[in-house]
Chain A
């Protein structure tokens, strides 16, 4: 049996005096797409940032390709993280750079490609995400949906094996959301990449996920694929996926 490409082993993390996640475990197999869902502020983005090395756990191990991320030397950690791309919740586009330059930036910084090759790749990625016409514009001159597409293109610029998407459809209309998720799935199939995505949009979660995991009350509840999630017995999962007003999630607030 193949080993997990990404894994959390008994990971705990908290901020201040509070504990956000307590001894959570999660394994993601190569090529798999795991979607994290759950109420806001319960640690979904924190989980992505743990995988991305942007946060360190208080306890436990974050493993990438069987290596403990936080025990590696800084240069080894950087090399490992270059296998990852991330779409941030707020896109994190460099607003002083044009659309094309946002994609060229990681290529200039982290590859030895010639300028002509970089420009070729910029054009390729912009065409892939359907915003080739906006190459010379700046991020604040394009729509929210185009910014998401640009964020995705930049996350994929270094051809990462693992892609983390933090709420890729947040603030988008249903049609644009659908287009973005279709794009994510197409690029995932083309690049054969492993994907972890965070969303609260259950329709998109079902569309994307091989497995769904719910982050709630400091733990991760693996609910399985769409059918298994819909049939799940945990009352918190039932309330969340059905969007019910009354139940354990709202009682605890």
Chain B
């Protein structure tokens, strides 16, 4: 465990140093950005829409139960969506889709000696494999958190109009009373931070992958578990930090 943490620290330090060293592989980075953002968009939009609808319906049900009134639901739900739901759900989905894919891809390259072949050519696997994915996931995390939040809010507004009887205008009025642009900015910062964690963790497990199908499977599972836990812990830390700015 200590050795793994120590290796992770060394690897992360090398990765962040490599981030500022040429050559910058813009073509690879854009390809990865397309994979991370565009190809992940349908599943993220689909899932966060339902999460938002469930949130607003549950909030309404419990508020009615406790205080016999759900007039604060648009505001509370919007706050919850912007600060937590949109970014955390989209990042966890990104972990399972992109993180698992990266760990399996890099892990397969490791066990089939493709990583060694890169080293033989004097190419640093961190610069070649990790950096384009790191940049793509960080930028993709910001973009996806923005889109996920907007979609969540739209779905929440839609369901509150259809199911709870609030007009769009009253939903937006309720929302404005509770949320500010800061919430959206902080959500995007969180998205970027979570996006950074995913490729770093996934490529770490991929590059340490042991041979065989079992090794690749283990690397994939470990990367998803560790990245998910890291996102949840980081969410707490960032929420605590941001609470000082409200």
Contacts and interface: CB of A to CB of B under 8 A. Distances in A.
Nearest to B111: A90
A124 interface: no
Nearest to A160: B120
Nearest to B23: A109
A224 interface: no
A109 B113 contact: no
Contact of A110 (B114, B116, B121): B121
A84 B123 contact: no
Interface range for B: 10 to 19
A78 interface: yes
Nearest to A52: B120
A90 B122 contact: no
Contacts of A1: none
Contacts of A94: 114, 117
Nearest to A151: B117
A110 B128 CA distance: 14
Contacts of A88: 113, 116-117
B119 interface: yes
A82 B120 CA distance: 7
A86 interface: yes
Interface string B103-145: 0000000001110110111110000000000000000000000
Interface range for A: 20 to 34
Contact of B114 (A78, A79, A92): A92
A78 B122 contact: yes
Nearest to B119: A54
Contacts of B117: 86, 88, 92, 94, 154
Nearest to A86: B120
Contacts of B120: 52-54, 81, 84-86
A223 interface: no
Nearest to B211: A90
A250 B234 CA distance: 55
Interface in B174-210: none
A53 B114 CA distance: 15
A126 B130 CA distance: 31
A158 B117 CA distance: 13
Nearest to A84: B120
Interface in A105-154: 105-106, 109-110, 154
A235 B88 CA distance: 66
Contacts of B121: 82, 105-106, 109-110, 158
A135 B114 CA distance: 20
B233 to A, nearest CB: 32
A92 B112 contact: yes
A105 B119 CA distance: 13
Contacts of A85: 120
A80 to B, nearest CB: 10
A154 B114 CA distance: 12
Contacts of B123: 109
Contacts of B119: 53-54
A92 to B, nearest CB: 4
17 contacts: A52-B120, A79-B122, A82-B121, A82-B122, A84-B120, A86-B117, A90-B112, A92-B112, A92-B113, A92-B116, A92-B117, A94-B117, A106-B121, A109-B121, A110-B121, A110-B122, A154-B117
Given A49-B116, A94-B117, A158-B121, 12 more contacts: A53-B119, A54-B119, A81-B120, A82-B121, A84-B120, A85-B120, A86-B120, A89-B113, A90-B113, A93-B114, A106-B121, A110-B122
Interface of A: 49, 52-54, 78-79, 81-82, 84-86, 88-95, 105-106, 109-110, 154, 158
Nearest 8 A/B pairs, CB to CB:
A78-B122, A92-B113, A92-B117, A88-B113, A92-B114, A106-B121, A90-B112, A86-B120
